[in-house]
Amino acid sequence: MSTALPSGPRPEEQPGRDTERAAGARASLQLLGSLLRPVRGRAILLAITVAGAQLALASGPTLVSYGIDSGIPALIDGSPAPALAAVLGYLGIAVVGGVLAAETVRMAARVSQAMLLDLRTRLFRHTQRLDLEFHEGYTSGRIISRQTSDTEALRELLDGGVTTLAASGLSMVFTATYLLLLDWVSGLVLLIAIIPGAILTRWFQLRSRVQYTKQRNASARVIVRFVEAMTGIRALQAFRRERVESARYDGVARDFQRSTAESIRLFGLLDSGLILIGNVTVAAVLLVGGLRVLAGDIEVGVLAAAVLYAKRFFAPLAQIGTFYNSFQSAIAALDKLATLLLEEPTVPEPERPRPLAHPRGEVRFDGVEFGYGRGASVLPDLHLEIPAGQNLAMVGTTGAGKSTIAKLVTRFYDARSGSVSIDGVDVRDLATPDLRRAVVMVTQEAYLFSGSVAANIAIGNPTATREEVIAAARAVGVHEVIEQFPQGYDTPVDTRGVRLSAGQRQLVSFARAFLANPAVLVLDEATSSLDIPGERIVQQGLRTLLAGRTSIVIAHRLSTVMNADRVLVLEHGQIIEDGTPEELAAGTGHFAALYAGWQATLG
C-alpha cells in the first residue's frame, strides 16, 4: 500500500482547461444539489431563520431613534407609552434575534451533518465499488484525504460558513436599507464607504489566495516528510539518517511556520483596515448628520441610529474575509469529491449476465492482448488452456506478466482484445457474485480485517457455521495454532488481540479460501522465508487448499513448483516453456537452469 502523499500542487489542483473546469463546476453543483435534495425542507427553513434573525437585529437602531425622537419627548409630556414601547420593542428584537441566531446554529448543524453523512457513505460505497485499475492509480494518500481533509473542508463551510456568509451579507444589506429608509443622506455616506471597504477586501482575497496555497503546500510538505520518515523508519535508523532527516524536517516545518505567520499578518491587516474604514465612516456619518441636525433636517434620534448603523455595517466584512479561504478550499474539495464520485469502474457489470451455477474450473485465454491504461502491451497475444482441476505454477523473471495473468482471471482488469473464459463463459458475461464464487484470489499480503480469527476465516463464506470454519482451519493445518490463542477462534487479530506471524496469516487466508471453495484458485505465493517447520506446515496447508480444484499459482518456492501438474515459464508476457515440472527440469531450457540453481542453494 502506498502512503506517499504528493508534494507540491497535486495534478488535480493544477489549472485545467476551461471545458474541464466548467465540467468540474457542473459536477460540483450537481453533487451539492443531490446532497441538498433530501434536506431541502430543512434548508429552506434555515434560510428563513437566518433572514429573520438578521431582519430583527437590524431593526434595533431604528427603534433607538424612535425612542429618542418620540419616546423621550412624550415621556417629558407625561406619556410613558412610546418610550416603554421602544424599550420593550428593543428587548423583544434582542430576544427574537438571539433565539433565531441560536436556532440557526442548531439547524445548520443538522442540515450539514445529514449532508455529510450522506456524502461520507456515498464516498465509501463508491470507492469500494471502483476497480483495481482505479485503486492502483489513485494513491492511498489521496483517497484518505478525500475522506478526511476534503470532507472536513466541506464540513467547516456547511456547519457554520454558509450561514455566517449569508448572515453577514444579509446584515449588510438590511443595515444599508434601514439607514437609507431612515435618512437617505447618511445612507449615501455609508454606500460611499463601501468602495474602500470593497477594495481592501478584494486586495485581501487576492493576496490571501496566493498565501493560502503557499500555506497548504507547506503543510503538505510537512506531512510528506513526516510520513516518509516514519514509514521508512527502519531504513532511516539502520543507515543513521536521523540528523539529515531532522534537518530536512526542520526546514519544511520552518517554511510552514513562516507561511502561517504571513497569513495571520494578512488577516491582521484586513481587520485593522476594516476597523479604520468603519471608524472613519462613523465619523463621516456623525459629521454629516450633526450638521443636518443643526440645520434642522433630521432629529437627534435619527443621527444616533445612523451612527449605530454605520458601526454595525462593516463588522461582517471581516467575517466574510475570514471565511474566504475556507470557502475556497471547500469549493476545491467539492470539485475533487465530485470528480471522484463520477469515476466509473472500467470493468462494467454485464447487462445480460450468463449463469454459472456449478463451475468446473476450466480456464481459457484466447488471443488475449493486454496492457495497463494506455501503456504498452504487457501480454501481447496469450493463448492458454487450463483444464478443470489442473494445478498450474507460473514462474518467470520479474515483470514477466504473472500477476497480470492472475488479475485477468479474477477480472480485476479486462483484456483489450481476445477473451478470458471460465467453463466457456467469457468472464465479462459473468455477474460479479458468480465470478467471485467461481474464482478466488489469495494474495501475498494475506490481509486480515480487524475482528476475530473466526470472522476472518468466515469472510470466505459468510453463511458458514462455526463447525465449517473450524473444519476449514483443520484442513489447512491452522486449527492447533488458533486453539492456542488466548480466546481461541474468538481472539481478535488487531492490536487488542494477537499479532499473527507471516506464516499464520497465510494459513488463515488459506482457511478463508478453503471455506470459499472456489472452482478456480489464484494464488500469489508469498516470498517471505519462513522457518523450516513453519514452511512445512504452510506447504501442507497449500497442498490441501489446491487439491481437487483448478489453481494458478505464482510460485516462488521450488516445492510448490515441483508439486504442480504443470509449469509455465513466462518472459515478456509470453509463454516460453510449458510442461510438467519433471519434463522441464530434465530439459535444457530456462526452467532447467532455474531448477539447477534451486537445487544448488538447497546444497
Ligand X SMILES: Nc1ncnc2c1ncn2[C@@H]1O[C@H](COP(=O)(O)OP(=O)(O)OP(=O)(O)O)[C@@H](O)[C@H]1O
Side-by-side strand order, sheet with 550-554:
439-442, 520-524, 550-554, 391-396, 566-571, 574-579
Taking a C-beta distance cutoff of 8 angstroms, is the pair 25, 334 a contact? no
Minimum distance from residue 389 beta carbon to ligand X (Å):
24
**What's at 433, amino acid-wise?**
P
CA pair distance 197, 314, nearest whole angstrom: 8
Smallest gap from residue 537 Cβ to ligand X (A): 25
CB of 522 to ligand X, least distance (A): 12
* Cβ distance to ligand X smaller for residue 375 or 462: 375
Q: How far is the CB of 411 from ligand X (least distance, A)?
A: 15
The residue among 526, 484, 522, 531 whose CA lies nearest residue 507 is: 526
SS3 430: coil
Contact residues for ligand X, defined by CB under 6 A: 136, 372, 375, 378, 396, 398-404
Do 535 and 477 touch, CB atoms closer than 8 A? no
**Least Cβ distance, residue 574 to ligand X (angstroms):** 12
Kindly state the smallest distance separating residue 426's Cβ from ligand X, in Å: 21
Question: CA-based angle 523:550:504, to the nearest 5?
Answer: 35
For ligand X, give the closer residue by CB, 67 or 396.
Answer: 396
Q: Closest approach of Cβ 385 to ligand X, in Å?
A: 20
By C-beta, is 493 or 522 nearer to ligand X? 522
Which residue is associated with the grid cell 494458478? Answer: 552
Q: Are strands 439-442 and 417-422 parallel, antiparallel or unpaired?
A: unpaired
Judged by beta carbon, residue 189 or residue 569, the one nearer ligand X is 569
Kindly tell me which of 78 and 375 has the beta carbon lying closer to ligand X.
375
Contact 538, 503 (CB under 8 A): yes
Is residue 411 within 8 Å of 331, Cβ to Cβ? no
Cβ 526 vs Cβ 446: under 8 Å: yes
Q: Which is nearer to ligand X, 131 or 426 (CB)?
A: 131
3-state SS of 148-208? HHHHHHHHHHHHHHHHHHHHHHHHHHHHHHHHHHHCHHHHHHHHHHHHHHHHHHHHHHHHH
Q: Is the Cβ of residue 267 or residue 372 nearer to ligand X in the bound state?
A: 372
d(C-alpha 343, C-alpha 127), whole Å? 9
Task: Name which of 132, 589, 166, 164 is nearest 404 in CA terms.
Answer: 132
Helix and strand element counts for the chain (H, E): 24, 10
Q: Which is nearer to ligand X, 400 or 454 (CB)?
A: 400
> From residue 270, how far is each of 332, 520, 576 by CA, in Å?
24, 67, 72
Smallest gap, in angstroms, from Cβ of residue 549 to ligand X? 22
Three-state secondary-structure class, residue 552? strand
CB 551 within 8 A of CB 523: yes
Distance separating alpha carbons of residues 518 and 440, to the nearest angstrom: 6
Nearest approach, Cβ of residue 141 and ligand X (Å) = 17
What letter represents residue 149's amino acid? Answer: S
Q: Which is nearer to ligand X, 400 or 438 (CB)?
A: 400
Instruction: Kindly tell me which of 19 and 527 has the beta carbon lying closer to ligand X.
Output: 527
Instruction: Please report the sign of the dihedral spanned by the C-alpha atoms of residue 398, residue 399, residue 400, residue 402.
Output: positive
Q: Which residue, 420 or 453, has its beta carbon nearer to ligand X?
A: 420
* Radius of gyration of the chain from its Cα atoms, rounded to whole angstroms: 35
3-state secondary structure 95-155: HHHHHHHHHHHHHHHHHHHHHHHHHHHHHHHHHHHCCHHHHHHCCHHHHHHHHHHHHHHHH
CB of residue 538 to ligand X, shortest distance in Å: 19
**Beta-bridge partners for 520:** 439, 550
Least Cβ distance, residue 528 to ligand X (angstroms): 14
The SS3 of residue 114 is: helix
CB 109 within 8 Å of CB 116: no
| Cβ 529 to ligand X shortest distance, Å | 16
Is the Cβ of residue 200 or residue 552 nearer to ligand X in the bound state? 552
CA–CA separation, 127 vs 137, rounded Å?
Answer: 13
The answer to whether 335 and 322 have CB atoms below 8 angstroms apart is no
* Smallest separation, CB 590 to ligand X (Å): 14
Shortest Å distance, C-beta 373 to ligand X:
6
For the chain, give percent helix, strand, coil, nearest 5.
65, 10, 25
Whether 310 and 278 have beta carbons less than 8 Å apart is answered as yes
Q: Which residue has the cell 476475530?
A: 452
**Between residues 394 and 481, which has the closer beta carbon with respect to ligand X?**
394
Residue 256, CB-side half-sphere exposure with 13 Å CA sphere: 17
The residue among 319 and 403 lying less far from ligand X, judged by its C-beta, is 403
Nearer to ligand X, 519 or 552 (CB): 552
Least distance (Å) between residue 133 CB and ligand X:
7
